[in-house]
Amino acid sequence: MLPVERPAGLRLVGLRAGLRYWRIDTDAPRDWSWTGFPRPRHRFDPAYGGFRTRYASTRFYGAARERYLDTGRFIPAAHAHHHVVELVATRSFRCLDLRNEATLDLLGLDDRISTSHEPALWAAGQLLGERAQGWAGAIDGIIYRARTTPSSTANVAFWAPDVFCASARSLQDCAEELDELVLRRDFTVDFDW
């Protein structure tokens, strides 16, 4: 059972300002809403819908693999105008590090919280997001092991819009990144770039 209060001895990681993260989004950052979903959609979304959690990866290809896992790494033509969002940390990003065994132990969790699709573990992740966001405002988000590229990337879940400076380009305009996906990462792209 997850603790209601922040456990004594729970240490945060401060990821340094200037680090870059990536996401692929239907909306440009200026149009992002921070209003929560009525029902959670993703791993660390709060069950009660009180705030929005957004997700990013430490590498562009990690973000693409997470986004297109369910399509078998196929990027459809309808996504050509989606946004590749580069997020640069503007200050230290204070987060729970779920890649750390001591953190998992204090929270009564194991590594499956980062990768499993079991309903009970999704519910635990959503409860963790809800509780961690409320722990005295000291936590900006969660860093966790990527399910698709665990040895080379990590993912972040964040709910503090002031943590990052965001810029975006159309996916279709990201020729170098799309070349890497097709030539080195076994993706298929259904539009010209």
Kindly give, in sequence order, each residue whose CB lies less than 8 Å from that of residue 71, ignoring residues fewer than 6 positions away. none
Rounded distance, CA 147 to CA 153, Å?
9
Write down the pLDDT at residue 47. 86
Write down the pLDDT at residue 147. 80
Phi/psi for 85 (5° steps) reads -105, 125
Write down the pLDDT at residue 40. 92
Kindly list the domain boundaries of the chain, sorted by start residue: 20-186
Write down the pLDDT at residue 137. 63
Low-confidence ranges of the chain (pLDDT < 50): none
Write down the pLDDT at residue 136. 67
Write down the pLDDT at residue 162. 85
Write down the pLDDT at residue 19. 94
CB of 62 within 8 A of CB of 156? no
pLDDT tens per residue across span 107-156: 999 999 998 989 999 999 999 999 998 886 678 999 999 887 677 789 99
Write down the pLDDT at residue 152. 78
Rounded distance, CA 134 to CA 106, Å?
17
Kindly give, in sequence order, each residue whose CB lies less than 8 Å from that of residue 89, ignoring residues fewer than 6 positions away. 15, 16, 17, 18, 19, 20, 21, 163, 164
